[in-house]
Amino acid sequence: MSRAIALIDGNSFYCSCERVFDPKLARVPVIVLSNNDGCAIARTAEAKALGIKMGDPWFKIRQQCQREGVRVFSSNYTLYGDMSARTNAVYRDFSPAVEIYSIDESFLDLSDVRNRDRVALARDLRSTVRAWTGIPTCVGIGPTKTLAKLADHVAKTIPDLDGVCDLTDPVAYDHWLCRISVAEVWGIGRASLAKLMGLGIDTVADLRDLDPRPVRKAMTVVGERIIYELRGLACLPLELLPAQRKGCAVTRSFSRRITERETLEQAVATHATRLGEKLRRGGLGTTHVSVFYHTSEHDRGDPMRSVSTTVTLPEATNDTLALIKAAQVGVTRTWREALGDRPWRYSKAGVVTTDLKLLDDAPRALIGQLDRERSAPLMAAMDACNARFGRGAVVPARAGLTEKRTWSTKFEMRSPRYTTRVGELPTAHA
Partner 1 sequence: MKLLQIAELPAGSAGTVRIPIQGAALCAGFPSPADDFLEGALELPRWLAPNPPATFAWNISGDSMRGAGIFDRDLAVADRSLKPSNGSIVVAIVDGTMSLKRLVIEGNVARLAFDNPDLPAFAVEDLIEGEIWGVVRFSIRWHVARAGLVR
**358 forms part of the interface with partner 1 (CB under 8 A):** no
CB closer to partner 1, 86 vs 345: 86
Cα distances (angstroms) measured from residue 397 to each of 155, 394, 400, 405: 51, 9, 5, 12
Min separation Cβ 275 and partner 1, Å: 11
CB closer to partner 1, 78 vs 286: 78
Min separation Cβ 281 and partner 1, Å: 8
CB closer to partner 1, 410 vs 417: 417
Secondary structure element (H or E) that encloses residue 5, with its range: strand 5-10
CB of 31 closer than 8 Å to CB of 25 = no
Of 261-300, binders to partner 1 (CB under 8 A) are: 274, 278
CB of 100 closer than 8 Å to CB of 88 = yes
Min separation Cβ 213 and partner 1, Å: 28
Stretch that binds partner 1, among 45-53, 157-165, 242-250, 326-334 (CB under 8 A): 242-250
| Selection from 152, 151, 132 nearest residue 87 by Cα | 132
| Selection from 406, 379, 408, 411 nearest residue 395 by Cα | 379
Residues 86-105: x where in contact with partner 1 by CB under 8 A, - otherwise, as a string: xxxxx--------xxxxx-x
Min separation Cβ 94 and partner 1, Å: 12
CB of 86 closer than 8 Å to CB of 99 = no
Length of the chain, in residues: 430
Separation between Cα atoms, residue 192 and residue 182, nearest integer Å? 10
CB of 396 closer than 8 Å to CB of 321 = yes
**384 forms part of the interface with partner 1 (CB under 8 A):** yes
Residues near 374 by beta carbon (within 8 Å), at least 6 away in sequence: none
Separation between Cα atoms, residue 273 and residue 320, nearest integer Å? 5
Backbone angles phi, psi at 359, to 5 degrees: -60, -40
Min separation Cβ 231 and partner 1, Å: 22
Stretch that binds partner 1, among 21-29, 111-119, 293-301, 324-332 (CB under 8 A): 21-29
**124 forms part of the interface with partner 1 (CB under 8 A):** no
**391 forms part of the interface with partner 1 (CB under 8 A):** yes
Separation between Cα atoms, residue 244 and residue 278, nearest integer Å? 12
Min separation Cβ 129 and partner 1, Å: 9
Q: Select the residue interacting with partner 1 from 141, 250, 268, 316 (CB under 8 A).
A: 250
| Selection from 314, 249, 318 nearest residue 283 by Cα | 318
Min separation Cβ 134 and partner 1, Å: 7
Separation between Cα atoms, residue 377 and residue 165, nearest integer Å? 51
SS3 155: helix
Q: How far is CA 53 from the centre of its chain?
A: 19
CB of 142 closer than 8 Å to CB of 5 = yes
| # chain residues binding partner 1, by CB under 8 A | 53
CB closer to partner 1, 172 vs 275: 275
CB closer to partner 1, 178 vs 249: 249
Stretch that binds partner 1, among 19-27, 197-205, 306-314, 355-363 (CB under 8 A): 19-27
Min separation Cβ 385 and partner 1, Å: 7
**364 forms part of the interface with partner 1 (CB under 8 A):** no
Return the number of other C-beta atoms located less than 10 Å from residue 67's C-beta. 9
The one-letter amino acid at 112? D
**397 forms part of the interface with partner 1 (CB under 8 A):** no
Q: Select the residue interacting with partner 1 from 3, 48, 77, 310 (CB under 8 A).
A: 77
Residues near 20 by beta carbon (within 8 Å), at least 6 away in sequence: 83, 133, 134, 135
Q: Select the residue interacting with partner 1 from 16, 74, 84, 290 (CB under 8 A).
A: 84
Min separation Cβ 239 and partner 1, Å: 4
Q: Select the residue interacting with partner 1 from 388, 397, 403, 404 (CB under 8 A).
A: 388
Summarize as ranges the residues that interact with partner 1 (CB under 8 A).
23-24, 26, 75, 77-78, 80-82, 84-90, 99-103, 105, 131-134, 239-240, 242-243, 250, 274, 278, 381, 384-385, 387-391, 417-422, 425-430
